[in-house]
Amino acid sequence: MADRQNAVELHNVVKRFGEFTAVKRIDLTVPDNSFVTFLGPSGCGKTTTLRMIAGLTDITEGDLLIRGKRVNSLPIHKRNLGLVFQNYALFPHKTIFDNIAFGLKYRKVSKSDIAEKVNKALDLVQLPHVADRYPNQLSGGQQQRIALARAIVIEPDVLLLDEPLSALDANLREEMRVELKRIQRELGVATVFVTHDQSEALAMSDKLVVMNNGFVEQEGAPEEVYNNPASAFVADFLGHSNIIQANLGSPDAAFTQVALESGETLLTTDEQTAKAKNSKDVRAVIRAEKIDLSEENRATDGVISIPGKVKTVDYLGQQARYFVEANGRDWQVINPIDAHPHKEGADIFMHIAARNCVLLPGHQD
């Protein structure tokens, strides 16, 4: 059944290229007015999925609905979608005004309305004075804004963004993240954003869809996906995690013991114990930034301290990433730096709270 509150729906969608299956029976929704990001490594199926929504790639099996209407066979120019690609695809021989107006002219919009809509779009992307220039007279960031203006000027039902920030330098990318989110919020247009950059995905999304090998591994709010990964792949791909084979022990007061294969014992919560589905064989996932380092043993109720030695320090500015050896196992730890980072070779303690020990069933790959 179609849900009118969803801008896009994919039901049991499959895409095959000859013998290769790029997308494997996925079900997805893009709620109205939301910013949904497809995140995953190269070849995971995220761009293929976006291209199916756009009408640039045919669906092999399943159904695609836009605004409740099945559009499997509807050509791209009849789907009322705004598209922004990595290379911007601006016409070099046309002025900025004509680039933005291109889609409106094919919709038979009057000249006076075209001028009004183009100027409004230029104001929205904060480039009101460049209408008479050509693309080669603008910076990369300005060209990206013009490509966005061209996509939104037609008042699309859905905005599709395929890695539009990847060609920009780091500082400009961060600036454009904020701008994209501002524009999406101001317009209230449902947006599908494709990226392999986890920081972009976490910073911009209302809903995160993590893909791998043609499947959806997990979807949900960014904080939920990050803090409660549903698989070892999600835990490993999104952020920096320590993923360790372990066994569940008996309950200890308000917590349950988790015996790691390297010999240490952690604690976890009842909620995490329930997620392990009564399996004794589990995987413990501890995010690198959820481990607190100090030179003192600060074990308290619900917090385990593990002694170790700092092997390597990566200085990251406001943070440092430490590689710590404990009982023959290397741990990753990311901590803020108050004054000076811990030195290589320093003896330290890793403090891990029960609430930060996430469990996965041990049979997962």
For 71-97, the pLDDT digits (tens) are 999 999 899 999 998 887 899 999 999
Q: Quick one: pLDDT at residue 114?
A: 95
Model pTM greater than 0.85? yes
Mean of all residue pLDDT scores within the chain: 91
Q: Quick one: pLDDT at residue 169?
A: 84
User: Cα separation of 90 and 73, whole Å?
Assistant: 27
Whether 26 and 10 have beta carbons less than 8 Å apart is answered as yes
* 67 backbone φψ class: left, alpha, beta (φ>0; ψ -120 to 50): left
Model confidence over 15-48: pLDDT tens digits?
999 999 999 999 999 999 999 999 999 999 999 9
Q: Is the pLDDT of residue 2 over 60?
A: no
Whether 208 and 221 have beta carbons less than 8 Å apart is answered as yes
Average pLDDT over residues 141-163: 94
Q: Quick one: pLDDT at residue 171?
A: 83
Who wins on pLDDT, 172 or 147?
147
- The closest alpha carbon to 293, from 277, 317, 311, belongs to 311
Structural domains of the chain ordered from first start: 6-227 (3.40.50.300), 240-361 (2.40.50.100)
Q: What is the DSSP letter of 239?
A: S
Least confident piece of the model among 88-102, 161-175, 226-240, 297-311? 161-175
Who wins on pLDDT, 173 or 70?
70
How many CB atoms are closer than 10 A to CB 225?
Answer: 24
Encoded amino acid at 68, one letter: G
| Residue position matching structure tokens 């501002």 | 182
User: Cα separation of 187 and 155, whole Å?
Assistant: 9
pLDDT over 90, % of the chain: 73
Q: Is the pLDDT of residue 49 over 70?
A: yes
Average pLDDT over residues 216-235: 95
User: Cα separation of 228 and 222, whole Å?
Assistant: 10
Q: Which residues pair with 259 in a beta bridge?
A: 247, 265
Alpha helices in the chain (DSSP H): 46-54, 96-106, 111-124, 140-152, 170-187, 198-204, 222-227, 232-237, 270-275
Q: How confident is the model at residue 1 (pLDDT cuts 50, 70, 90)?
A: very low
Q: Quick one: pLDDT at residue 206?
A: 96
Who wins on pLDDT, 364 or 183?
183
User: Cα separation of 235 and 231, whole Å?
Assistant: 6
Please state whether beta strands 61-66 and 69-70 pair in parallel, antiparallel, or not at all (unpaired).
Answer: antiparallel
